[in-house]
Amino acid sequence: MTTPQQHQYTHPALAAADPELAALVGAEERLQAATLRLIPSENYVSAAVLEASGTVLQNKYSEGYPGRRYYEGQQNIDQVETLAVERAKAVFGVDHANVQPYSGSPANLAVYLAFAEPGDTVMGMALPMGGHLTHGWGVSATGKWFRGVQYGVRQDTGLIDFDEVRELALKERPKVIFCGGTALPRTIDFAAFGEIAREAGAVLVADVAHIAGLIAGGAHPSPVPHVDVISTTTHKTLRGPRGAMLMSREEHAKALDKAVFPGLQGGPHNQTTAAIAVALREASLPSFRDYAHAVVANAKALADALLARGFDLVSGGTDNHLILMDLTPKQVPGKIAAKALDRAGIVVNYNTVPYDPRKPFDPSGIRIGTPSLTSRGLATEHMDQVAEWIDRGVAAAGAGDEQALAAVRAEVADLLTAFPAPGLPV
């Protein structure tokens, strides 16, 4: 019997129809196999999730919801979507789930459509402090259509000041408050946000896109007792396809469903819904709980190893899957470091750090995470080596030493041959 690790993906039809595109897919397979992927929003999905994403469900159009479609021939599709919904409710312990949003940004936009009117005040974490564009930041539609007010983190600790958040919420009285973000290395205090939202009379939304898998696996506290709505993508730590979900208390179910369809979208992507269902089944297994806790253990071990090498970590470390590094003490800008590390086979992204004096497209920091390397089986005993590679790569970036970067790349590729990635044929 062929195991998922042994399963060989080939693309004969694609190769015959479009050899140029097939070659690019093959090149990406080899790149993902040979490089250490440390972008915290990326992961490896299982062979089963990949297969579900490419089924004949692609051929179906299914506007509406199970039992209430505008197209006939939905006998199987309704069951697929119901399966995904019921699994989401079970994994996260929620009253209601909508698995139709195409991605995280449309899911968040549906929240605004459900609970606010254009021009209303909304509140979220400022983008340079670790928030997301869709939390009311000015360059986003959410900041153009709504009046966005932002909270941040303390400059001395890198942590959220809840006294400041409360003061801002009571002064501005937003309709919606978002908690969560894209560069938050510490545990989110959903209870504290819940108290503030209730006092301000706001709908509280937890954007857990980055930590959904950690929540599902019990490695991060759940927002369910404290928030009105949960928004999440289905990839990242959840190891599903590129999609999204909205979950809520029953009282908000109708408003959210109406906002997703017909408010923002037409027919759902049924092949993605199927892959979400598979990922949620995987997330319900004991092995996924082990995975989620291993992600956090690896991140903490990696943070400790970086601190020992003199790196400046925002907030001093991490509680989750993510590490945000300020490279100012290393005298190497984040963008230069990220591009050099890429040449060394270590894939990261350059990132703004709180109170960054540099511009967003040329910031001071880099952002790294452990979901992908944990999916490959790397453990805490490997994190010192990873930190050493990062240290050598950043030093080589500052010195312009391409030979040193090439040496790191060879060492990375050599180690990774012993840790094949799920779902890859190479």
Task: Encode pLDDT of 102-159 as tens digits.
Answer: 999 999 999 999 999 999 999 999 999 999 999 999 999 999 999 999 999 999 999 9
Chain segment 193-240, per-residue pLDDT in tens: 999 999 999 999 999 999 999 999 999 999 999 999 999 999 999 999
Based on the domain organization, do 357 and 299 belong to the same domain?
yes
Asked whether residue 307 falls in the same domain as residue 266, the answer is no
Residues 59-83 as b/e (b if ≥16 CB within 10 A, e otherwise) read: ebebebbeeebeeeebeebbebbbb
State the pLDDT at residue 9.
54
Residues 140 and 251 both lie in one domain? yes
Average per-residue pLDDT for the chain: 96
The predicted pLDDT at position 386 comes to 98
Are the C-beta atoms of residues 46 and 377 closer than 8 Å to each other?
no
The share of the chain scoring above pLDDT 70, in percent, equals: 98
Helix (H) or strand (E) holding 350: strand 349-351
CATH number, position 373: 3.90.1150.10
Do 387 and 271 have their domain in common? no
- The closest alpha carbon to 319, from 175, 210, 397, 165, belongs to 210
Contacts by 396-400, CB closer than 8 A, 24 or more apart: 396/340, 396/344, 397/332, 397/336, 397/337, 397/339, 397/340, 397/341, 398/330, 398/331, 398/332, 398/336
Given the structure tokens 């790149």, which residue do they identify? 31
In the predicted structure, residue 2 carries a pLDDT above the cut 50: no
Average pLDDT, stretch 87-92?
A: 98
Look at residue 356 and tell me if it is in a domain. Answer: yes
pLDDT band for position 7 (cuts 50, 70, 90): very low
Amino acid identity of residue 135, one-letter, is H
Percentage of the chain exceeding pLDDT 90: 97
pLDDT of residue 342: 98
Residue 164: both structure tokens together = 């400041």
Give the residue numbers spanning the domain of 114. Answer: 56-283
Which domain CATH number covers 173? 3.40.640.10
Q: Does some domain include residue 393?
A: yes
Asked whether residue 241 falls in the same domain as residue 331, the answer is no
> What is the mean pLDDT of the segment spanning 387-402?
98
Q: Tell me if 42 is assigned to some domain.
A: no
Q: How many domains does the chain have?
A: 2
Final residue before a domain boundary, out of 267, 283, 299: 283
Residues assigned a catalytic role = 61, 63, 207, 233, 236, 242
Residue range 305-333, pLDDT digits in tens: 999 999 999 999 999 999 999 999 999 99
Examine residue 338 and state whether it is found in any structural domain, yes or no.
Answer: yes
Per-residue pLDDT at 4 exceeds 50: no
Q: How high is the pLDDT of residue 1?
A: 31
Q: Which of 283, 298, 313 is the last residue of a domain?
A: 283
CA distances from 363 to 7, 38, 210, 369 (A): 41, 18, 21, 18
- Do 258 and 301 belong together in one domain? no
Rounded CA gap, 319 and 185, in Å?
6
Q: Judge if 199 and 300 occupy the same domain.
A: no
pLDDT at 291 over 80: yes
145's tokens: 């259509």
pTM more than 0.75: yes
Same domain, 277 and 319: no
Peptide bond preceding 422: is omega within 30 degrees of 0, i.e. cis?
no
